[in-house]
Each structure stands twice: as C-alpha cells, then as structure tokens.
Amino acid sequence: MQILVTGGAGFVGSELAVRLTEKNHRVVVMDNLVRRGSESNLERLARHGVTFVHGDVRNPEDFENLPAGIEFLIDVSAQPSVVSGYTNPVFDITNNSLGVIHVLEFARRHRCPMIFFSTNRVYVVDQLLELPRREAATRIEWDPSAWDQLSPETRPRGFDPIHGVSEQFAVDGGQRSIYGLSKLIADASCQEYSRAFDMPLVINRFGVIAGTGQFAKLDQGWVVWWAIAHYFKLPLKYIGWNGKQVRDVLFLEDVCALVELQMNQISRFRGDIFNLGGGSANSLSLREGTHLLEQKLGHGTNITVEESVRKGDLPIYFTDNRKGIKKLSWQPRVSLDQGFDKILGWIRANEDALRKRYT
C-alpha cells in the first residue's frame, strides 16, 4: 500500500514512516520542515526508502507535487505547542485547522482512508478544573470520595476518578486554549467529512506522546525535555501546582502499534473518536518524574518553583483508554520505567549532538 504521512518529518511522523516501510508499505512524507530538528530526520527517512516531498498542508497546490497512487493517509501535521497559540492565534488556526481541511479534501478526492491525530486539548479546561481533586505528597489526585458524594445529575459525563477522561467529556463551553480550539475545529471537520462523504476515518485524541528521537523543549514534549535537562544538569522550573501536576504518558512504540491496528480495521470507522494515552498506570507528576530520573542517573539538577499557573493549564489529566481496549484490542505496553530507560539510552548514544543543541 502507498501511504502518505503529512507532517511526516517530525517526531511521531518520521517513526511511523520508517515502521510502515519495514512492513513493506511504500511511504510518502510531506513536511514543511518548519519545526527545528525535523530536517535531521530526512537522512533516516531516505535510508529507509521513504519518499520526501517538501510541502505545506496550508498550501493546497503543494498536494499536486505528491506522487500518484496514494491509498492511505495519516495526518500528523500540526503546530504542537499549547503555549504559542496565545501570542499568535492565527498561526495555530491556519496550521491546525485550515491545513486539515486541505488534507481532508485530498483524502476525499482520492478516496483515501485516513487517521487523524487529534488531542485531549479539545476538552473544556473549565470543566476539567471543576472535577474534585486532592493534594497528596507527590502529586495531585482526583478524589473518588468527593466524586461519590455528587449526585448523578451533577456528575459530568465522560469522567471517572479511577479511569480518567473519556471521549464523552465536554467539548462545548469554556476555554480549552487556542491550540485546543484549532484542533477542535480540525477534529469536528474530520467527523463531518467522514459522514458527509462516507470516508473511512478515525480520530485519535492523544495525550502526552514521548519517545526516542524527540527534540523536546519546555512547552512541548516535556517528558523527553525533563530527561535531557536532568542528564545535562540544566536548570528546570516547576510552573504552578508546586510540580505536582499529573499527566499520563504514551510511548511511541504503542502509538505505532495502535496505528497499525487501526489501518487494518479502517473500513469499520466513519469518524470514530478514541481517547488514547498512557492511562492511570502510566501517569506521573513532575516531582515523580524528577525522582525517577534522579534514581536512574544518580544525580539531580537545580529546580526552582514558580507559583503562577499558566493559562489553560491543568493540575491533573489522564486518559480513560477503555474504548480503545474494547474496540481495538489495544492497550499501552511500554511502562514508565521502560520508556524512560529507552529515552536515557538514546540520550547517551547521541550525547555529543544533544549537548550541542541544548547546552
């Protein structure tokens, strides 16, 4: 099968492209190479026989440069930082919303089944902040006892304090960040196109994705950034929540396994939505991440605390994976311990190059 991966020179896209070629697919990657570090993946893509097309999903004419015969489309193209949208909202919306319309039009015209990478940031922050929580020694937790005291009529749909946030959680009303808005527009567009034009299409609302080869930074890819900063003893900062804010982590190997499963079952889907992440078992706070890395490296780094909370930030989020487990027979296999070991192994193997980039 000939597969197009838009945004395919980035962290997730390039790994998907390589793995799909190893499954004997012919893979075409289109990327504008705007994100720093993506150009460094081109040599690896070429070595694995991936066809690279320099193009931008914001420009419909760039799709005309693609080779004929595309049979499947995976859209990983996006501006991924939550923070930057507040300074330049049009940039986020142009990249993450209008660009996806062009991708959908290509898929519609060429009758390509499609997998779209969405985000949990489509959910309303205001309502997530209202979920009952408590502060523990190293993390913020959702509070099952306070949840049990709520009447069924006042409990928000799509949440369970043990399993986390599901696909049924609110997307209407309140704030979600400009980035979240841009992805919600794209997410809803995928749902509409799939049903309007009978397009096989699945929407994955991912949480934090981490893994080797990620050129992380403070506002995007925090797991790998945390590991790099500890390895090189770079200064860090807990911003809000005293470092006890919690996220779940899904490692790249499990993302690739998921995509392969969905490709094999794509005829079943017409705009189906899945919440996908590490789940409660793969959740950790910044403080817990620090402790884990100190244990593995034998040293820490200087960390300061900033009390102010960033706009749109959350004290806790982890994913309810039960729909994916039930309907796809998929679940995360890589544990936090295994994932961090792989990331640290990659840092050691690329120490000189990473030192030049980050220090």
Q: Please check whether residue 337 is in contact with residue 344, taking contact to mean a CB–CB distance below 8 angstroms.
A: no
pLDDT of 300 reads 96
pLDDT of 86 reads 82
The Cα 250–Cα 195 span in angstroms is 29
Residue-level length of the chain:
359
Helices and strands: H and E segment counts in the chain: 13, 17
Place of tokens 């009447």: 151
**For 22-69, what is each residue's pLDDT tens digit?**
999 999 999 999 887 788 899 999 999 999 999 999 999 999 999 999
Q: Please check whether residue 222 is in contact with residue 236, taking contact to mean a CB–CB distance below 8 angstroms.
A: no
The Cα 250–Cα 245 span in angstroms is 17
pLDDT less than 50: residues of the chain: none
Q: Please check whether residue 56 is in contact with residue 63, taking contact to mean a CB–CB distance below 8 angstroms.
A: no
**For 202-244, what is each residue's pLDDT tens digit?**
999 999 999 998 876 666 789 999 999 999 999 999 999 999 9
pLDDT of 218 reads 63
pLDDT of 36 reads 74
Q: Please check whether residue 64 is in contact with residue 105, taking contact to mean a CB–CB distance below 8 angstroms.
A: no
pLDDT of 215 reads 78
Q: Please check whether residue 142 is in contact with residue 165, taking contact to mean a CB–CB distance below 8 angstroms.
A: no
pLDDT of 114 reads 98
Residue ranges of domains in the chain, CATH in brackets: 78-358 (3.40.50.720)
Four-point Cα dihedral 39, 43, 49, 55, nearest 10? 20
Q: How far is CA 189 from each of CA 153, 174, 246, rounded to the nearest angstrom?
A: 31, 20, 30
DSSP sequence for 265-277 = TGGG-EEEEEEES
Q: Please check whether residue 63 is in contact with residue 39, taking contact to mean a CB–CB distance below 8 angstroms.
A: no
pTM across the whole model: 0.95
